[in-house]
């Protein structure tokens, strides 16, 4: 998600591979403190920067990021004060601070109209259009469009990502399950694991955003890229049978006992832990989890798209989060200098090899040591950047805040059985129509 974000291989302390050229880099994020409070005046002045980011997936990233930002401080003479918040808290705290004029100078946030677009509409983001031209930033065109609102470029996209299903190859082998080649195979695999007392899917949705990803991957494989585009532009209604069927796939998994007990009470971290411990055979989430997997598990891991009815399906891919500058920053020049540093070729290579995420600008990855699983992701996301291959869409970065809330609430209702797929589809159609009228 994201903050966000963008495969198939092994893990068991995998032998490193050398990735051939592809695209890569990301905004380096990390933490030196953890506070939601507004900064002291000394921390947010004309000579320094306050930088707010969400909690990284891996604690081990923190020292590397601190060291990286120390390098920036040495090169620029600009002191950077870092704050970090859990993702589920960051959105509320950040908006409160920005609206009070006490926000950070630079911060990470989700892209798209429902997230950064809302901040831009409220006049809370600094216009980076001139900075792009002055610094010749090489952000991919499609990514730049996702942070452009009312003709102004308001942010810098930071990573490409894929959303699919991680699976425990050792458990698959132990229970005689093959990698699913279609939706029927996936359903049979789930039945096998449930019968053996293994949770098939480490589905979790306490925070709410996970449901959007689960829905996006099932729907993308069912209708394909063209169908997703039609749904998003309004030429195909959200009440279509394909939408209902995608929702019913997950409601069916819930009814058949293929999900953890009370998934809406299970946090993202605790859901991941089920997979890490080998208590769940599959974990449907994004490529941003790869580095954590490599550090945590001792079994082989594969990554596959959510299957279609008649084939292997397609990954949901695209843009994750981005970095933005507050409209009220007292140091816009320093903020732009930090963003420029994070988009250098050298920093991009460091990002790929050290942090393990894919950036939204071209970086030569030749000679970098990465795991086989991550090498697959680099190859896949390079196709997104090139505009080749077939990929679905992660819905929440392309729709409004109102639509997203409708989707997230509706999906939680699907998991509990309190809402039917038809009712949720109708709610989505109503929200989509309202969004179109509000434009």
Q: Taking 60 as the threshold, does the pLDDT of residue 436 lie above it?
A: yes
What is the predicted pLDDT for the residue at 386?
77
**Sign of the torsion angle spanned by Cα atoms 365, 366, 370, 374:** positive
Q: Please state, in angstroms and rounded to a whole number, the distance separating the CA atoms of residues 75 and 84.
A: 23
pLDDT > 70: what percent of the chain? 89
How would residue 30 be classed by pLDDT, with cut points 50, 70 and 90? Answer: very low
Q: Please state, in angstroms and rounded to a whole number, the distance separating the CA atoms of residues 338 and 156.
A: 11
Q: Please state, in angstroms and rounded to a whole number, the distance separating the CA atoms of residues 317 and 307.
A: 15
How would residue 31 be classed by pLDDT, with cut points 50, 70 and 90? Answer: very low
Q: Please state, in angstroms and rounded to a whole number, the distance separating the CA atoms of residues 52 and 119.
A: 15
Q: Quote the CATH superfamily of domain 6-19+161-318+375-439.
A: Periplasmic binding protein-like II (3.40.190.10)
Q: Please state, in angstroms and rounded to a whole number, the distance separating the CA atoms of residues 389 and 412.
A: 32
Name 279's Cβ contacts closer than 8 Å, sequence gap at least 6. 198, 199, 202
Q: Please state, in angstroms and rounded to a whole number, the distance separating the CA atoms of residues 222 and 227.
A: 9
Is 428 within 8 Å of 229 (Cβ atoms)?
Answer: no
Q: Nearest-5° angle of CA 16, CA 2, CA 421?
A: 115
One fold for 6-19+161-318+375-439 and 23-159+320-364: yes
Tell me the per-residue pLDDT of 398-415, one tens digit each, with 9 for 90 and over.
999 999 999 999 999 999
Domain spans in the chain, listed from the N-terminal domain onward = 6-19+161-318+375-439, 23-159+320-364
Tell me the per-residue pLDDT of 172-213, one tens digit each, with 9 for 90 and over.
999 999 999 999 999 999 999 999 999 999 999 999 999 999
Which DSSP symbol is given to 40?
A: P
What tokens appear for 416 in the block? 């509990």
Displacement of CA 383 from its chain's centroid (Å): 17
User: Is this structure's pTM higher than 0.85?
Assistant: no
Q: Please state, in angstroms and rounded to a whole number, the distance separating the CA atoms of residues 105 and 327.
A: 8
* Mean pLDDT calculated for residue range 259-286: 97
How would residue 289 be classed by pLDDT, with cut points 50, 70 and 90? Answer: very high
φ, ψ at 409 (rounded to 5°): -65, -40
Statement: 23-159+320-364 belongs to CATH 3.40.190.10: yes
CA dihedral in degrees (397, 223, 388, 14; nearest 10)? 80
Is 228 within 8 Å of 280 (Cβ atoms)?
Answer: no
Question: DSSP readout, 222-284?
Answer: HHHHHHHHHHHHTSS-TTSHHHHHHHHHHHHHHHTT-S-SSGGG--HHHHHHHHHTTSEEEEE
With tokens 């129509």, the residue in question is 433
Q: Please state, in angstroms and rounded to a whole number, the distance separating the CA atoms of residues 103 and 88.
A: 17
φ, ψ at 52 (rounded to 5°): -110, 130
What is the predicted pLDDT for the residue at 1?
42
Q: Taking 50 as the threshold, does the pLDDT of residue 158 lie above it?
A: yes
Tell me the per-residue pLDDT of 76-101, one tens digit each, with 9 for 90 and over.
999 999 988 987 788 889 999 999 99
How would residue 46 be classed by pLDDT, with cut points 50, 70 and 90? Answer: low
Q: Taking 50 as the threshold, does the pLDDT of residue 38 lie above it?
A: no
């Amino acid at each position: 998600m994201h903050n966000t974000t963008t495969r198939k291989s092994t893990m068991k302390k995998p032998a490193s591979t050398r990735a051939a050229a592809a695209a890569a880099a990301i905004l380096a994020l990390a933490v030196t403190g953890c506070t939601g409070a507004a900064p002291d005046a000394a921390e947010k002045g004309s000579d320094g920067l306050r930088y707010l980011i969400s909690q990284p997936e891996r604690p081990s990233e923190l020292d590397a990021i601190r060291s990286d930002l120390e390098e920036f401080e040495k090169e620029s003479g600009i002191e950077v004060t870092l704050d970090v918040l859990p993702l589920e808290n960051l959105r509320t705290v950040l908006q409160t601070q920005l609206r009070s004029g006490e926000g950070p100078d630079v911060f990470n946030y989700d892209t798209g109209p429902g997230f950064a677009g809302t901040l831009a509409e409220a006049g809370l983001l600094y216009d980076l259009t001139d900075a792009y031209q002055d610094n010749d930033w090489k952000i991919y065109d499609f990514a730049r469009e996702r942070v452009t609102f009312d003709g102004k470029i308001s942010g810098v996209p930071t990573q490409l990502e894929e959303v699919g299903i991680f699976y425990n190859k050792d458990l698959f082998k132990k229970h005689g399950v093959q990698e699913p080649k279609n939706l029927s195979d996936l359903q049979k695999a789930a039945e096998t694991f449930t019968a053996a007392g293994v949770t098939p899917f480490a589905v979790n949705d306490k925070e709410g955003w996970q449901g959007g990803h689960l829905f996006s991957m099932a729907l993308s494989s069912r209708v394909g890229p063209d169908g997703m585009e039609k749904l998003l532009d309004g030429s195909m209604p959200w009440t279509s049978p394909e939408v209902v069927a995608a929702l019913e796939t997950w409601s069916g998994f819930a009814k058949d006992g293929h999900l953890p007990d009370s998934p809406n009470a299970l946090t993202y971290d605790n859901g991941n832990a089920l997979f890490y411990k080998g208590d769940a055979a599959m974990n449907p989430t994004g490529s941003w989890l790869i580095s954590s997997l490599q550090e945590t598990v001792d079994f082989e891991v594969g990554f596959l798209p959510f299957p279609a009815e008649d084939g292997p399906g397609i990954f949901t891919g695209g843009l994750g989060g981005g970095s933005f500058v507050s409209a009220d920053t007292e140091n816009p020049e320093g903020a732009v200098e930090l963003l420029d540093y994070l988009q250098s070729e050298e920093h991009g290579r460091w990002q790929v090899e050290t942090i393990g995420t894919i950036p939204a600008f071209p970086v030569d990855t030749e000679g970098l040591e990465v795991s086989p699983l991550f090498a697959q992701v680099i190859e896949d996301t390079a196709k997104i950047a090139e505009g080749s291959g077939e990929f679905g869409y992660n819905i929440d970065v392309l729709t409004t805040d109102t639509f997203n809330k409708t989707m997230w609430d509706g999906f939680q209702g699907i998991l509990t059985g309190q809402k039917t797929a038809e009712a949720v589809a109708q709610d989505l159609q109503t929200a989509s129509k309202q969004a179109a009228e509000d434009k």
